[in-house]
Structure 1
Amino acid sequence: LNTTPLHAYLNRNLDMEQVHQRLRTLPDHALAFNCFDYSDRRNMTFFETLGNLSEWIGPNAGGKRFSLTVEHIMASCAAPLLFPPVLMDGHYYGDGSLRNITPLQSAIRLGADRIINISLSGEAFKRERHETPTLGRIASTLFDGMFLDSLELDSHVLERINTLTERLPEKDRDTKMIDLCRVAPMFDFSLIAQRHRNRFPRTLRYLFGGWITPDMLSYLLFDGEYARELIEYGRKDGESYKDMVEEWLRN
């Protein structure tokens, strides 16, 4: 798909120089984007901060200090098979969810001891289905595994580590506890996408054919009306979490 309009929109509406200036006034803050390096087959975290944070490199992931640009944003959301990879410094990068089995690691390496995990999957998505899965449903399951499941799994692992660490005497702890607040939607994206099905471009309907199930549509529908409804649902959902999050922040 052509991502040029998104790139132009971000350039018009996002003042990266203001972002840089803001970070220069907040030395204990950092901003980061995760991207997958198709050249090295490694997940990279590009981060910007004035803090004394070191770069890191591992077999499957690494972190580089950078002056962030719109290209980093485009690369971080360049979903495979849908959006073209982005060329930066001689390497092609795509969506940061690829091969990212520990998505919370970047925040922890950047010094976080409290994390708000805003997930895109929740109980509303767990519907019982006994019919034969279609190609579209299988494809959307693959997308879920690529983009969503690792964050949920990593959150469960972190909570388990916290539980085990808490049981140890403080003098024997060599791992710090990370306070995790989890927020998940209470509505189903696919049901909203289905209401906007007629907004899906005709050429893409022809291209994807029977693959376009409501689940798959929620990934592929880039439409203003659909986005506005999602934002409104998200705002209402956020209000329902308000007391819990405020209490977490106070503590």
Structure 2
Amino acid sequence: MNGLVLSGGGARAAYQVGVLSYLAEKAPEVSFPIIVGVSAGAINAAFLAGQRGTPTENLGSLSSCWTSLNTDRVFDTNLSALGLSGARWLWTLGGGGTSLGPRVKGLLDTSPLREFLEEQVLVEGIAMNVAEGRLRALGLTATRYATGQSVTFVQGAEDVPTWERVRRCGLPAKISVDHVMASGSIPFIFPATAIDGEYYGDGSIRQAAPLAPAIHLGAQRLLAIATRYNPTLEEVRALATTGYPQPARIMGALLNSIFLDALEADAERLERINRLLEALPPGAPNPDGLRRIDTLVIRPSRDLGSLAQPHKGRLPRTLRFMLRGLGIHRMHGAELLSYLIFEPPYISRVMELGYEDALTRWDEMERFFSDGA
């Protein structure tokens, strides 16, 4: 059974749309009964899980969804809104813990994104697809702030399992826009989201094993689409600087570590388990009930930060002014910029790169899905 794993990365998640669009064109018969997503990947996951058309039609709709976005439809960039948010942060930091004054929730107001998702995500379609057997399970992961657990909210068939560990659990749910918002609530930048009286933040914060939810739900073959480029050693050396790092560079590195570094390590763990199972002699007991999980990870062939830098002038003036103080006018601020620039020219270029990368790796993808036929 195929599982689709969609990681986070803010505006970078448009890359996943390009990869899946090429796959839908070349192999429309390939389906994903299990879909899991985290952070911005949860938007793609929930959208696809609620669609009722063919794969090509569904991806066309998702592409249109992304290209209709702009920054104003993700968070409020009005000068008064940003100024009020900044004032609340100053009050909180300088108030010495006093309970007087407004409570700070996030740097940016994401109510426009909620309105957009309520238009685009067909939550009733998720239930219909589950009932008709087109979808076995949808899982969206968020971080429960009270306990620090990585919580995967699951809507699926009656026999879909749930799980509970110290650091992660899977709970049955009727997926709503609240779950999508919770999964993508980037700490400090976006406000936390309340679900059943508890507050949740971005699911990537504590998700050390991003492939685990799909495996828990029964997937045997995983297509995981990451949003981070793996640089060469020479490229890493070229980035080295001696000056004190700009805040934007520090924040970009922090976001990378939260959202993008766990997938590769998890895929490597699965590969080691597969090799261990292959090495077992015939008839030997299976340790801990392990099973082989084939995984294919697709990631950008270019640095998405470098693609974002030329488009920084398209950000709303107020947001551009605020971020310039953090250093986005310098090349090393491009990482942070690539998460936040929800503007059509950048989004379209990122989707194009996903499409091109899928084309380049099509032979590998074709073998991967053919082996599981």
**% identity of equivalent residues:** 34
Deviation at 1:14, TM superposition (A): 2.1
Cα 1:170/1:66, change in 2 over 3 Å: farther
Deviation at 1:222, TM superposition (A): 2.0
**1:200 to 2:327 alignment:** no
Deviation at 1:28, TM superposition (A): 7.0
User: Structure 1 unaligned runs (5+)?
Assistant: none
**1:13 to 2:120 alignment:** yes
For residues 280 and 231 of structure 2, the distance between their equivalents in structure 1, rounded to whole angstroms, comes to 36
For residues 225 and 130 of structure 1, the distance between their equivalents in structure 2, rounded to whole angstroms, comes to 29
Which residue does 2:240 correspond to in 1?
130
Relative contact order, higher structure (CA 8 A, sep 6+): 2
For residues 345 and 364 of structure 2, the distance between their equivalents in structure 1, rounded to whole angstroms, comes to 30
Which residue does 1:236 correspond to in 2?
356
SS at match of 2:175: coil
SS at match of 2:141: strand
With normalisation by structure 1, the TM-score equals 0.93
Which residue does 1:157 correspond to in 2?
269
Cα 1:12/1:28, change in 2 over 3 Å: closer
For residues 28 and 232 of structure 1, the distance between their equivalents in structure 2, rounded to whole angstroms, comes to 27
Structure index of larger Rg: 2
Summarize deviations over 1:80-109 as a string: whole Å, max 9, x none: 121111111001111110111111111111
Contact 1:29 1:51 in 2 (8 A): no
SS at match of 1:157: helix
SS at match of 2:283: helix
Pairwise CA RMSD of aligned residues? 1.8
The within-5 A match list for 1:93-242 is 93-124=200-231, 127-128=235-236, 129-132=239-242, 133-172=245-284, 173-174=286-287, 175-208=290-323, 209-212=325-328, 213-242=333-362
Which residue does 2:109 correspond to in 1?
2
For residues 230 and 27 of structure 1, the distance between their equivalents in structure 2, rounded to whole angstroms, comes to 29
Summarize deviations over 1:146-186 as a string: whole Å, max 9, x none: 00111111111111121122111242223111111111111
SS at match of 1:177: coil
Deviation at 1:27, TM superposition (A): 7.5
For residues 217 and 318 of structure 2, the distance between their equivalents in structure 1, rounded to whole angstroms, comes to 44
Deviation at 1:242, TM superposition (A): 2.3
Deviation at 1:51, TM superposition (A): 4.2
Summarize deviations over 1:18-73 as a string: whole Å, max 9, x none: 12101111177111100111122111000111141332211111110111111111
Number of matched pairs: 251
For residues 231 and 27 of structure 1, the distance between their equivalents in structure 2, rounded to whole angstroms, comes to 26
Which residue does 2:88 correspond to in 1?
none
Q: Aligned partner of 1:4: which letter?
A: S
Q: Aligned partner of 2:166: which letter?
A: P
User: Structure 2 unaligned runs (5+)?
Assistant: 1-107
Greater Cα shift, 86-95 or 157-166: 157-166
Contact 2:137 2:160 in 1 (8 A): no
Deviation at 1:204, TM superposition (A): 2.5
Contact 1:35 1:75 in 2 (8 A): yes
Q: Aligned partner of 1:180: which letter?
A: T
For residues 242 and 191 of structure 1, the distance between their equivalents in structure 2, rounded to whole angstroms, comes to 25
For residues 210 and 82 of structure 1, the distance between their equivalents in structure 2, rounded to whole angstroms, comes to 14
Structure 1 stretches (4+) deviating beyond 4 angstroms?
none
Which residue does 1:245 correspond to in 2?
365
With normalisation by structure 2, the TM-score equals 0.64
For residues 67 and 57 of structure 1, the distance between their equivalents in structure 2, rounded to whole angstroms, comes to 18
Which residue does 2:130 correspond to in 1?
23
